[in-house]
A and B are shown apart, each in its own frame.
Chain A
């Protein structure tokens, strides 16, 4: 990416970059950048709810379905005495067919046994096909002034007039304000619509409002981003934000932030470098945010997840070693014994080495030339694990009607899942039943 940027924009100085990013540029560029930023924020917020309602791809059908509306509005505007080049007229046409497309998806779902994916695909392709037909008709039969229509497919932020930007900003902020006002209602319907219905909320009306916000944002973004890529603004920022948090308001804020930043950076880069279509750059910026989030976010990111799993595996493995030592009553684990334990659990030589390092690193044991020697920490942990193990075995046998022969394999995982609170509860229960705890349970942690 950087290579292409550099090659395409050859001759751009750092000063120019800073100037553009700080909006110290021409009035028109400044308007466009501000407009797309606002658009990104609004679509981030609206898209978050669309994602939570699992309607992300419905927006794809909707945006494709706007094309015939644009062409038809252009064709028929003169009939109603309107200027066919007026952006407002074209966007009204886009809204009409876009909504019609969504209604068609719902009709197909209600009237036939086709699934949602097929319904979306059908509407998307048929409506877009109709748009292509209408566009080709317009271009051949009414060529005067129709050249700009194609711009709606891929977007053309650079040629936007201040008036167009204002319209976009009004639509986007409308959607933004309404979504924030209905935050509570949207959340309820997204999480549990049947409860909402019983609780007296008009679920279909709220769904409709949510879809209306999506329509507003889509239509607002048509000219700047283009109808194929405007869905990306609705889908990508919320998905990226989801990696960072489990709090809804934070998710929405982050999504708005990602969306806004994409709009801002995308439009700025596009203004700065020649031949950089704003829509594509905006979406790619959002894509980078997504990639970084998916890989490196601390709570749900891939790397963090892998590390967490590795740590859990190591803890379980080291517990096995400590328990084995405790049960054997030994403080010293020879290299041979270690290999036996490793074989028993199917560890590779490499993993066994990591486990050994882990034990030493956690100050459970010290390493010697021919093995490890347990320290007090390690001995205590061994006692604990052994006791947990016994408790669980007893619990499973007496409560869950699981045959004793089945217990051993299930217990190994389960003892690492238990919280301390639950263990205490379990102990009490066993004591009430008057069952003696098996050997190794005498020590209380």
Chain B
């Protein structure tokens, strides 16, 4: 099986990919609530400061991958949460600085302890804590083809890291499924949540326990930097794409899976283009997560940079076009059937006027003959509706909002281009001109 220029090799790729996807999924789902509650950096702090817990457990039990190590790291993660709270509250320290103090000191402790451990001839590597060791999850006795895989063999071969990650994802899914409502209300309004009987503090700690759990389960395989990336990036990307929490959670899950698999493939595929060796897969996944986020920032249909630009431009053009039609209509009201293009261009950018004229002509709103512009019947109808909106707004602003009459034209000019209709009004505007009928 091959993906692009890369061969998918069961022995080499199956378990690393599975580990990456599972870690991304679990962290990505939890990240939604961290990002919403502005706790993103708590994930950062926890994933740094599990290090000493890990090493202490390791020093005590002298074995790797044991349950004790897992417990040690989780305890360290929780201790971080409690310590940050304590420093913030007791020491009156701003939350960013409080996190910075706690996690950097704990991480330093971890680094030191690793050195002490290695002095005793035990091998622990701080580097692998940071970037993980996906590449070591090899299935040595893998068959050559996917179709040859026997379920029993597969299950027996699953490395313990992947099993742990699987359990983590199941727990996270169960937690979100059971407590989605409570999490949402606790994220939105902690005080309301507490008065309704879901204690916001308990939800906070439950969430933090899970974050610690997910971090610990993930980082042995993928490293703590990827854990941070997965806690924050997919949820942030999803947040840019939707306004609904439920949709955001589903989207973040999809983005997390896409990130992990895309990043994994890119790690081998992109250097492969130049015939180079593959690069670190966990790092590549983080970069891929950033890439997806950048795409969302630029192209999102709701809040994207491009869309906003386009919307502004479209509005600006519509404003010029509608202003032109209105000018023509007013001219025809005062008995002049056509207007010279030069008159229309006064005080406007010629480029915009030409473009507006072109569009209006194509739509059949105006006819141009001998440098004079005349409204067609269709154009007259459009302009009439526009003038009606404008004069109704003027009426509204003067009589309801109490603006002085000679002040409202500009404001009405702004409002007439909006979709919202003013309330119904009389036949005559504040300047004594007729308000055209509806249709």
| Alpha-carbon distance between A54 and B95 when the two chains are bound, in angstroms | 9
- Of the stretches B15-23, B111-119, B153-161, B343-351, the one at the interface is B111-119
Contacting residues, chain A, for B386 (C-beta < 8 A): none
Q: Give A97-150 interface residues, CB cut-off 8 Å to B.
A: 108, 111-115, 117-118, 120-122, 124-137, 140-141, 150
The reply to whether the CB of A60 lies closer than 8 angstroms to some CB of chain B is: yes
The reply to whether the CB of B208 lies closer than 8 angstroms to some CB of chain A is: no
Query: Distance (Å) between the CB of B279 and the closest chain A CB?
Result: 5
Chain B window 60-98, contacts with chain A (Cβ cutoff 8 Å), 1 for yes, 0 for no: 000000000000000000000000000100111110111
A133 to B41, Cβ gap below 8 A? no
Query: Distance (Å) between the CB of B26 and the closest chain A CB?
Result: 16
Query: Distance (Å) between the CB of A185 and the closest chain B CB?
Result: 22
The reply to whether the CB of B429 lies closer than 8 angstroms to some CB of chain A is: no
A57 and B100 in contact, given A128-B225, A129-B284, A284-B105 (Cβ under 8 angstroms): yes
The reply to whether the CB of A374 lies closer than 8 angstroms to some CB of chain B is: no
Chain B window 301-316, contacts with chain A (Cβ cutoff 8 Å), 1 for yes, 0 for no: 0010100000000000
Main secondary structure of the interface of A (DSSP, over half): helix
The reply to whether the CB of A8 lies closer than 8 angstroms to some CB of chain B is: yes
Contacting residues, chain B, for A7 (C-beta < 8 A): 116
Contacting residues, chain A, for B229 (C-beta < 8 A): 122, 125-126, 129
The reply to whether the CB of A154 lies closer than 8 angstroms to some CB of chain B is: yes
**Is the interface on chain B under 10, 10 to 19, 20 to 34, or 35 or more residues?**
35 or more
The reply to whether the CB of B290 lies closer than 8 angstroms to some CB of chain A is: yes
| Alpha-carbon distance between A284 and B116 when the two chains are bound, in angstroms | 15
| Alpha-carbon distance between A54 and B267 when the two chains are bound, in angstroms | 37
- Of the stretches B189-197, B232-240, B357-365, B396-404, the one at the interface is B232-240
B127 to A275, Cβ gap below 8 A? no
A121 to B232, Cβ gap below 8 A? yes
| Alpha-carbon distance between A54 and B225 when the two chains are bound, in angstroms | 24
Contacting residues, chain A, for B109 (C-beta < 8 A): 280, 284, 287
From A120, A133, A239, B284 is in contact (CB under 8 Å) with A133
The reply to whether the CB of B368 lies closer than 8 angstroms to some CB of chain A is: no
For A306, give the chain B residue with the smallest CB separation.
B90
A125 and B286 in contact, given A8-B119, A112-B303, A276-B112 (Cβ under 8 angstroms): yes
The reply to whether the CB of A4 lies closer than 8 angstroms to some CB of chain B is: yes
From A57, A127, A133, A153, B130 is in contact (CB under 8 Å) with A153
| Alpha-carbon distance between A178 and B125 when the two chains are bound, in angstroms | 39
A114 and B115 in contact, given A120-B41, A121-B41, A132-B282 (Cβ under 8 angstroms): no
From A125, A131, A283, B228 is in contact (CB under 8 Å) with A125
A284 and B108 in contact, given A121-B231, A125-B226, A137-B271 (Cβ under 8 angstroms): yes
The reply to whether the CB of A279 lies closer than 8 angstroms to some CB of chain B is: yes
The reply to whether the CB of B35 lies closer than 8 angstroms to some CB of chain A is: yes
- Counting from the closest, the 10 A-B pairs by CB-CB distance are A129-B286, A126-B290, A132-B283, A232-B104, A287-B105, A125-B229, A283-B108, A136-B280, A235-B100, A121-B232
Report which A residues bind B (CB closer than 8 A): 4, 7-8, 51, 54-57, 59-60, 108, 111-115, 117-118, 120-122, 124-137, 140-141, 150, 153-154, 228-229, 231-232, 235-236, 238-239, 242-243, 274-277, 279-284, 286-287, 290, 294, 300, 302, 305
Besides A129-B289, A130-B290, A232-B101, 13 other CB < 8 A contacts?
A60-B44, A113-B239, A117-B39, A121-B44, A128-B286, A129-B229, A132-B131, A232-B104, A235-B104, A236-B105, A238-B97, A275-B116, A287-B101
17 A–B pairs (Cβ distance < 8 Å), ordered by A: A4-B116, A8-B115, A118-B38, A118-B236, A125-B225, A125-B229, A128-B286, A129-B225, A133-B279, A136-B280, A137-B277, A229-B108, A231-B104, A235-B100, A275-B118, A277-B111, A290-B101
